[in-house]
């Protein structure tokens, strides 16, 4: 599964409305998770602003040291694909969301997300 920042933020923020659902889904899909590099940056930044530097750094340490989590780096050719998804969208995807949609389409994988726009785009796969 590919993981979106909305899901990760809910998972790491106990006060988040979707926290319990994120914990439940994480247990169901924890065998192998792909997290796009842009999502790592977005999640670390939001956790910094919503929680603390400590929480953000803990997230980054988990990303680096957990065997079942793989960071999905965006290559130059992938960037072109993300760029095209962003330019040709009919919804309101931000650039990071376009990256998730691109990788999900390319790899034919599902996405752990609470973002409605991503969910609509993923249904088309």
Q: For 5-31, how does the pLDDT look when each residue is reduced to its tens digit (9 = 90+)?
A: 999 999 988 888 999 999 999 999 988
Whole-structure pTM value? 0.89
Look over the chain and give the mean of its residue pLDDT values, rounded to a whole number.
93
Concatenated DSSP letters for 66-96?
A: -TTEEEE---HHHHHHHHHHHHT-SS---HH
Taking only the tens place, the pLDDT of each residue in 65-75 is 999 999 999 99
Q: Treating both helix axes as pointing N-terminal to C-terminal, what angle do 19-29 and 5-12 enclose, rounded to 10 degrees?
A: 110
Q: What pLDDT does residue 122 have? A: 83
Mean pLDDT of 106-116: 95
Total count of domains within the chain: 1
d(CA 87, CA 76): 17
Taking only the tens place, the pLDDT of each residue in 48-58 is 998 889 999 99
The tokens for 107 are 């790899």
Kindly report the CATH number assigned to the domain that includes residue 48. Answer: 3.40.50.1010
Residue span of the structural domain in which 47 resides: 2-122
Q: What pLDDT does residue 124 have? A: 67
């Amino acid at each position: 599964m590919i993981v979106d920042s909305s899901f990760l933020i809910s998972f790491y923020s106990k006060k988040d409305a979707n926290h319990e659902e994120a914990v439940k889904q994480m247990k169901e899909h924890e065998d192998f998770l792909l997290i796009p590099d842009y999502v790592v940056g977005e999640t670390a930044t939001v956790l910094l602003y919503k929680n603390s530097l400590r929480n953000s750094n803990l997230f980054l340490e988990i990303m680096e040291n957990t065997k079942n989590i793989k960071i999905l780096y965006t290559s130059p050719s992938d960037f072109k694909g993300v760029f095209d998804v962003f330019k040709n969208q009919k919804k309101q995807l931000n650039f990071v969301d376009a990256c998730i949609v691109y990788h999900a389409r390319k790899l034919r994988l599902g996405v752990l997300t609470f973002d409605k726009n991503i969910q609509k785009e993923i249904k088309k796969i």
